[in-house]
Amino acid sequence: MNRLVDRYGPWALVTGASDGIGAATARRLAAEGFALLLVARRQAKLTALADELKAAHRVEVETLAIDLGTEYGVSGLLRASEAHDIGMLVAAAGFGTSGSFLASPIADEVAMLDVNCRAVLSLTHAFGNRFAGRGRGGIVLFSSLVAFQGVPNSANYAATKAFVQSLAEGIGPELRARGVDVLAVAPGPVRSGFAARAGMRMGATDSPVTVAKGLIDALGRQSLVRPGMLSKLLEFALTFLPRRGRVWMMGKVMSGMARTGDAR
C-alpha cells in the first residue's frame, strides 16, 4: 500500500462525487489505491464513475444516491458507512446561489445551509469521532476564496464557506492530537456544474483536476491549501486590502458573474 492508504486506512468516502471536484478527487484517490464509497444525488453518474474507477484501478467502489440536504440522507449515509473501514472523509458536496440576497427564494438559501453547513457539520462530527477512536484519519472540508470576507451578490454562499473555514481551523488542532489530519481546501472559480446551478457566468477558472491534485498533495502536510494558480493570484490580489476593501472588490467581481433575475 502507498503512503496515504497506510496513513488513513483502506476506504475513503467522497460526497458530491458525481461531478466536478468530487469526481476528480475520487479519481485521484482511486489511483492512490483507496476503496471508495461515492455519494451524490444522481445514481446514473455515480454508477458510471464507479465502473470507470473499477476498470482503471481495480479498486472496490460502492455508491449511495442520497440527498445530504435532509436529515434522513445524512443518517442513511452514516448507517451505510459503518460497513466499511473508512479512514478519510472528503466532504465535497455543496452548491451556491448568486444575485441579490433579497431576490433569492429563502427556501433556496436554507437548502444551501443544510447541504453546505449542517450536513458537513454532522459528517465531520461523526467521522471525527470514529477516526479519533482509531487513532488515525483524514478530513477534507471545502472552504473557498469567498470564505475570507463577505461577498455581495453571493452573501449566503460566502457565509456558508466562512463557516466551513472556521470549523476546519478550529477542529484541526483538536483532532491533530488524536492522529486525525484536517485540511481546508479554498479554491477560486472552478470549471464544473457549480456555476450552472448557482446561476453564474464563469470567466477564467481552474480545473477540478488541479484542485484534486492540490488537496491530495497537501494532505497531512498543511491545514489550508489554495489549489491552482488562479486561486493563488486572486488571493494575492486581495492580500493587502483591508477587509472592507476585500468586500468591495469581491462584490465587483461577483456582480460581473451573477446573472440577473432568479439566483438559481
pLDDT below 50 — which residues of the chain? 1, 195-196, 198-199, 260-264
The model's pTM is 0.90
Residue 215 lies in a domain: yes
pLDDT of res. 256: 67
Query: Is 8 known to be catalytic?
Result: no
How many residues belong to the chain?
Answer: 264
pLDDT of res. 120: 98
pLDDT of res. 238: 84
Residue 218 lies in a domain: yes
pLDDT of res. 262: 29
Give me the number of domains the chain comprises: 1
Q: What share of the chain is helix, strand, coil (3-state, %, to 5)?
A: 55, 15, 30
Residue type, 133: G
pLDDT of res. 196: 47
Residue 264 lies in a domain: no
pLDDT of res. 261: 34
pLDDT of res. 231: 78
pLDDT of res. 191: 57
User: Could you tell me the CA-to-CA distances from 185 to 71, 106, 144, 174, 262 in Å, in that order?
Assistant: 25, 27, 7, 18, 29
Residue 189 lies in a domain: yes
Biggest distance spanned by C-alpha atoms of the chain: 52
Catalytic entry in 34, 131, 157, 194: 157
Residue 227 lies in a domain: yes
User: Could you tell me the CA-to-CA distances from 202 to 68, 86, 109, 180, 196 in Å, in that order?
Assistant: 26, 35, 21, 36, 9
Domain that holds residue 220: 3-257
Contact 112, 163 (CB under 8 A): no
Instruction: Tell me the CATH number at 166.
Output: 3.40.50.720
pLDDT of res. 2: 52
**Three-state secondary structure call for residue 138:** strand
- C-alpha cell belonging to residue 220: 497531512
10 Å Cβ neighbour count for 5? 18
